[in-house]
A and B are shown apart, each in its own frame.
Chain A
Amino acid sequence: MPRKDLQPLQIYRLLPRTNCKLCGCPTCYAFAFNLISRSRRVEDCPELLKDEFGESFRALKKMLGEGERIAGSDHVLDRSRCTGCGDCVAVCIRALTTITKNGRLAQRAAVPPPLKVMDGRLQVVEWSSCKRAVPGLDICNLCAEKCPFSALDLVKPEEPDQEDS
């Protein structure tokens, strides 16, 4: 099961909200988007490391978990939780070599499987095969939903371009 969807505003409220730009983002709000897409880590905001923000820091860590973005994909994996069980690989509709209907072969998957377990942890090996790489199909989250250890999350990579608050 993926963690329940995180809202940027929810994250933003816990940030220092000074727009100091030390994290490399134009605003704290933009940083909030970056945190959700896991393209930046909580530690990247130097303000948050100060004692006065200790509580926010811990709350953010808890909300975001230990997951790290698998480069070049929407998949966020908590490597310490992933057991490499392969359930996500097995349920991915794109990974099936054959798609059957009523016990008969209906269609062969035309694409190489997007996911694979390597060295005991999940890897995204063929991002272009994943439904989420296709515009309009990017709502699939079957793999994350079926992970028995809640190790997998899927995030939208979008970030706000302009200043916003």
Chain B
Amino acid sequence: MRSRSLVCTGCGCLCDDIQVQTNDSRPILIENACAKGAAHIQASFNPERRPHCTIGGRQCGPGEAVAEARRLLGNSRNPLIFGLDSSTLSAQSLAIALARKLGGSIDSAASFSYGPLLAAMLGGDLPACSLAEVKDRADLLLYWGADPPNTHPRHLSLHSYYAYSEYNPAGWYPRVTLVCVEVRRTELSSMSKPAIRIKPGEDRAVIEAITGEAQSQVGAAQGLAELIRKSHFCVLFCGLGLMHSLGGDPGPLVRMARLFAGSTRMAVIPMISEVNMMGFCRLLHQTAGQVSSVGFKDGTAAGREHSFLEQVRRRSADCVLIVGSDPFAALPQSVMENLGDAKIVCLSPLATASTMAADVVIPTALPGVECGGSVLRMDGVEVALAELEKGAYPTEEAVLSRLLEIL
């Protein structure tokens, strides 16, 4: 029996205090991980959750599958690489190099979720802070359109409300105010004081009422503005609910942060669920000046026409390489149906709807369980993953660099 420390890659929290006891290279006891994380770690040891290496549904060896992937990508006129938000930084840079070599496009789920917000943060328009700073200094935790008890189970106990080390234990004399802005009742709203309930789609109006841009007053705005003004350090945890309601436009948040800049330190942390969306956006930003939807056909270009959704809608991509992502489960079927004629190559550690739809499936090692690597957490801090047991599968890095080599 061995005991190992692990970083959980079950969600964006990347909890680094997981202990796993293994016997005969199988986990027999997982300590500290939440139910979601424990299931994630166990999944890699369950053969039924792992995909087979296949070409057109026929099982084959990895060498053959990589050769077929190479053929499909090489023959493609408009190759598209998608996913990568759960891959390590080194796999991500290899994928960017591959897209460049192919003259194709590359995109991640950030283009329809946190992309614009991350662009504003990386561009310096929105202030950021680390989760380590949050738990020692922040006195106002503002969750907006986010429901961490359901999406990031240990976010509050490990990174925020219950994690204060310098303060008195939060459970006893909370000096920190937990506020949530939500359109419905959630587990978080029952813990928050106050819990601000707004109407669906009202987010922009509330922010504009706070910044004074709006003509009419929205009930919730005044109290919220007062709370922020009175606090010294307010951290805004920005959820997908807020992003979608703002139509992906971080402008109102930028103006709100500027408004309070004089009195309150305000920082934004996106509640990213993926393990390394932050890393991919930063890498692409460094390479191409954009956080998502980049094309390398004639030089480097970025824009809507290079986004995954747009290319799928217009049926312009004829070969899609999906890396560690599951768009077939995440996006509506009516959208994905447009990929009917395109060839799909899928690199995935687990069996998903996307591996079922793919023409070529290459199973890979699960980052954080079967291989190490580095990722950027939601607050932009680099986290080194540990390896529990080397499995039978090649890493994404190995497959991508092999493709890069033979193309």
| Chain-A contact segment, one of B156-164, B208-216, B386-394 | B156-164
Which chain A positions have C-beta within 8 A of B34? Answer: 83-86, 117, 120
Q: Answer whether residue A99 sits at the interface, using C-beta atoms and an 8 A cutoff.
A: yes
**Interface size bucket, B side?**
20 to 34
Q: Answer whether residue B335 sits at the interface, using C-beta atoms and an 8 A cutoff.
A: no
Q: Is the Cβ of B37 less than 8 Å from the Cβ of A87?
A: no
Supplied contacts A90-B156, A100-B165, 6 more A-B pairs, CB within 8 Å: A83-B35, A85-B34, A85-B157, A100-B166, A101-B168, A116-B31
Q: Is the Cβ of B171 less than 8 Å from the Cβ of A142?
A: yes
Which chain B positions have C-beta within 8 A of A85? Answer: 34, 149, 153-154, 156-157
Which chain B positions have C-beta within 8 A of A148? Answer: 149, 187-188, 190-191
In the assembled complex, the Cα of A96 lies from the Cα of B29 at a distance in Å of 23
Who on chain A is nearest to B172 by CB? A93
Q: Is the Cβ of A93 less than 8 Å from the Cβ of B191?
A: no
Residue in B154, B165, B187 whose beta carbon sits within 8 Å of that of A86 in the complex: B154
0/1 interface trace, chain A 121-160, chain B, CB 8 Å (1 if under) = 1000000000000000000001000101100000000000
Residue in B38, B167, B168, B191 whose beta carbon sits within 8 Å of that of A120 in the complex: B38
Q: Answer whether residue B398 sits at the interface, using C-beta atoms and an 8 A cutoff.
A: no
Q: Is the Cβ of A86 less than 8 Å from the Cβ of B158?
A: yes
Q: Is the Cβ of B169 less than 8 Å from the Cβ of A116?
A: no
Q: Answer whether residue B36 sits at the interface, using C-beta atoms and an 8 A cutoff.
A: yes
Give the distance to chain B from A63, nearest Cβ to Cβ, in Å: 21
In the assembled complex, the Cα of A6 lies from the Cα of B187 at a distance in Å of 23
- B228-283 at interface with A (beta carbon < 8 Å): none
Residue in A96, A100, A120, A149 whose beta carbon sits within 8 Å of that of B37 in the complex: A120
Who on chain B is nearest to A102 by CB? B168
Q: Is the Cβ of B190 less than 8 Å from the Cβ of A100?
A: no
Q: Answer whether residue A161 sits at the interface, using C-beta atoms and an 8 A cutoff.
A: no
Give the distance to chain B from A120, nearest Cβ to Cβ, in Å: 3
- Interface size, chain A (Cβ < 8 Å): 29
Who on chain A is nearest to B28 by CB? A119
B contact set with A: CB distance below 8 Å: 29-39, 149-150, 153-154, 156-158, 162-163, 165-172, 187-188, 190-191
Q: Is the Cβ of B171 less than 8 Å from the Cβ of A120?
A: no
In the assembled complex, the Cα of A103 lies from the Cα of B34 at a distance in Å of 29
The secondary-structure label for the interface of chain B is mixed
Which chain B positions have C-beta within 8 A of A103? Answer: 166-167
Task: Take A83-B34, A103-B166, A148-B149 as given contacts and tell me if A120 and B187 are in contact as well, using a CB distance cutoff of 8 Å.
Answer: no
Q: Is the Cβ of A100 less than 8 Å from the Cβ of B35?
A: no
Which chain A positions have C-beta within 8 A of B154? Answer: 84-86
- A72-88 at interface with B (beta carbon < 8 Å): 82-87
Which chain B positions have C-beta within 8 A of A84? Answer: 33-38, 153-154
Q: Is the Cβ of A89 less than 8 Å from the Cβ of B153?
A: no
In the assembled complex, the Cα of A76 lies from the Cα of B227 at a distance in Å of 38
Q: Which of A102, A142, A146 has the most chain B CB atoms closer than 10 A to its own CB?
A: A146
Which chain A positions have C-beta within 8 A of B188? Answer: 148
Q: Answer whether residue A14 sits at the interface, using C-beta atoms and an 8 A cutoff.
A: no
Q: Which of A85, A116, A117 has the most chain B CB atoms closer than 10 A to its own CB?
A: A85
In the assembled complex, the Cα of A117 lies from the Cα of B154 at a distance in Å of 11
Task: Take A85-B154, A148-B149, A148-B188 as given contacts and tell me if A120 and B33 are in contact as well, using a CB distance cutoff of 8 Å.
Answer: yes
When A and B form their complex, which 6 residue pairs have the shortest distance between CB atoms, in order from nearest?
A91-B171, A120-B38, A120-B35, A84-B34, A90-B162, A86-B157
